[in-house]
Amino acid sequence: MRRYDLITPEGTKDYLFEECALKRIVETKTRQLFKSMGYSRLITPNLEFYDVYNLNSRYFPQEELCKLTDNKGRLVVLRPDSTVPIARVVATRLKEAMLPLRLYYTQPVYQFAPSLKGKSTEINQTGIELIGSGSKMADIEVISMALSVLSSVGEKIAENVNFSVNYSLELGDVRIFRELMHRLNATPAQKEEIRSLIEAKNYPALNDILDKIGEHKITNALKKLPTLFGGEEVFERAEEIFQDARIAEILENMRELYHTVCDMNEKGNIIIDLGLVNKTDYYTGLVIKGYLEGYGEEVLSGGRYDKLLSEFGYDIPAVGMAVNVDAVANVIAKKYTPKITAPDILIVAEKGCEALAVKKAVVLRESGLCVEHFLETDFDLAQDYARTRNIKKLILISSEREQEVCIA
Amino acid sequence: MNKPLRIALTKGRLEKDTVKLLESLGYDCTAVHEKGRKLILSIPDGNLEVVLAKAADVITYVEHGVCDMGVVGKDTLMEMNGKLFELVNLGFGKCKFALATKKDYPFYDGFGIKTIASKYPNVTKAFFENKNMDVDIIKIEGSVELAPLLGLADGIVDIVETGTTLKENGLAVVEDVAQISARLIVNTVSLKMRQQEIENLVKKVEEKIHGKTN
């Protein structure tokens, strides 16, 4: 019995007309941007061996992976992320290529979302990876792309369609957290709990667990870590809390970066959050997140991942970011609905004149017009059809003549 | 004027406690008192908008960002596990999750797999996973106390306030699972996009709460 033949799996959907057009608008705009910065596109397979994602530096919960087996019974997954397979490609086929490598992609990622929460299993992403450089300029390049994506969300959507969307770009650095945790005397389980509480900015519970561990400089600093977000003032507050040479150096670099980013940015809001500590990240330094007004989650995220490629046997630094195309399209959809335009001309062929009609249509299309064939021969029916479809002009091709009719 | 900050309140007791808290901070909550059947109410002088919802829905609305903040019990937060910021322990709505069985029932004895009835299967699962204990969990919607009495389950994991219901039915707490109270939650994007407004409110709330306990 076929029970599920008329629906799609939860968390997936068919994109029709306007939805499809919006998605393409976002993809095309970001693609143009990436290309204009010298990035080349690559496509990785939708299927990857599970082993590719079985990493030390990032944990993919197995219940969230879409798993299959190949014809030899080996475990295969629908890619849950695009950065890992790109690391694999670079560490193998591109190992001899000149560095840095600038790569971009536009492809979906798959991760089972919790049921009935309105989240997607299939998320369309577009992103960049800048591989082989650990320099400050590499970080700045990626941040500048993120800013361009965010600031241009409402720009040039279509001819004469421009609107503004408020955005924020957030910068963090996971090394501050790592430094502190490295010096904290606690069990791995406690450390993981502390991390999750910092991530959730759960101040009361964080204070409780740290009080149990003891009261000293490190625990006091960890208590303050999730509160350290906002603008420039964050650095002053952080300097008071972290009196440590290594952390001071990280902060100093970050502050410099923050100023550079503020200088390049014109209208958005740049924020710092020293409490960005996501468990599932392979990030080793800078982390970035982008927010748009009207969307409840980040629409863009990225960072520096200097250890990921070494897991595939090629020890080089890298930095990148990914945009959630569906989220951005969702934000645009609140202010703009793409118009699906009707064809300019409908061609009706009398019986026996099909070849003539096709030739005529080809000529018209070459001049830039959108031409549709009417599939029957009845002229009256064709007029009704054109009216309903909102096609303004009709051409009748018969053996002796060509007749043009304007449809009111 | 900015768009008002939207705060979702858990209908019922938490709503009343939160309104009391807001009033003590000087907000005019007349609209909430005279709500009738309305579900979205405004507190104009605070540029706030109150939304009334069931506990689990408060989390859903805040997680999706259609509400900026919410007040919800830790019990529902533990069961739902959403991605949001849990900024303040408001202190009211206090109770606890506990494992209870029939009085003097040797729950941890023997090698058989135990059966637990609960309205909170995720909380139950996490609790026993932490103990490396395999258990069968049965979801019950109503009075969970019935399950061990009828012989369906060895024990229950449920919210315990005073313990009266347990006592009257010959049940007793074996072990506490977690302490519960009302939390102020915030959407992860709202906190960043509207930091100033939210921090001002949070600061006022915290001062009030700590003032009370000291």
pLDDT tens, chain A, 408 aa long: 888 999 998 889 999 998 999 999 999 999 999 999 999 999 999 999 999 999 988 888 888 999 999 999 999 999 999 999 999 999 999 999 999 999 999 999 999 987 777 789 999 999 999 999 999 999 999 999 999 999 999 888 888 888 989 999 999 999 999 889 988 988 888 888 899 899 999 988 899 899 988 878 889 999 999 999 999 999 999 988 888 899 999 999 999 999 999 999 877 789 999 998 876 678 999 999 999 998 999 999 999 999 999 999 999 999 999 999 999 999 999 999 888 889 999 999 999 999 999 999 999 999 999 999 999 999 999 999 999 999 999 999 998 889 999 987
CA dihedral A82, A85, A91, A94 (to 10 degrees): -70
B64–A298 C-beta distance less than 8 A: no
- Looking at domain A7-165+295-340, its CATH class is alpha beta
Q: What is the CA radius of gyration of chain B?
A: 20
**Helices A17-36 and A325-333 meet at what angle, rounded to 10?**
120
* Residue to substitute from B192, B197, B198, B199, interface A, most A β-carbons within 10 A: B192
- Tell me yes or no: is domain A345-406 CATH 3.40.800.20: no
User: DSSP string spanning A165-183?
Assistant: --EEEEEEEHHHHHHHHHH
Residues B27 and B74 in one domain: yes
Distance from CA of B167 to the nearest CA of A (A): 31
* Residue to substitute from B132, B189, B195, B213, interface A, most A β-carbons within 10 A: B189
Chain A (261-290) residues lying within 8 Å, Cβ to Cβ, of chain B:
269, 271, 273
CA angle B145, B151, B153 (to 5 degrees): 65
CA–CA separation, A34 and A26 (whole Å) = 12
CA–CA separation, B106 and B117 (whole Å) = 17
Residues pairing with A322 in the sheet: A127, A301
Residues B73 and B53 in one domain: yes
B84, B85, B189: residue with CB nearest A291: B189
Would you say the CATH fold of A345-406 matches that of A167-292? Answer: no
Residues B131 and B209 in one domain: no
| Domains of chain A, residue spans | 7-165+295-340, 167-292, 345-406
Residues B69 and B147 in one domain: no
CA–CA separation, B89 and B83 (whole Å) = 17
Give the structural domain span for B170.
95-180
Query: pTM for this structure?
Result: 0.86
Distance from CA of B90 to the nearest CA of A (A): 10
Residues B195 and B144 in one domain: no
Q: Which phi and psi angles does B90 have, rounded to 5°?
A: -75, -15
CA–CA separation, A267 and A147 (whole Å) = 10
Q: What is the CATH number of domain A167-292?
A: 3.30.930.10
Domain at B132, CATH number: 3.40.190.10
Residues B85 and B75 in one domain: yes
A204 inside 8 A of chain B by CB: yes
User: Which chain A residues are within 8 Å of B64, Cβ to Cβ?
Assistant: 118, 296
| Structural contact between residues B103 and B172, judged by C-beta atoms closer than 8 angstroms | yes
A229–B189 C-beta distance less than 8 A: no
CA angle A288, A277, A143 (to 5 degrees): 10
B85–A296 C-beta distance less than 8 A: no
Residues B114 and B155 in one domain: yes
B189–A296 C-beta distance less than 8 A: yes
- Number of structural domains found in chain B: 2
User: Which chain B residues are within 8 Å of A204, Cβ to Cβ?
Assistant: 88-89
A201, A202, A296: residue with CB nearest B65: A296
Residues B52 and B26 in one domain: yes
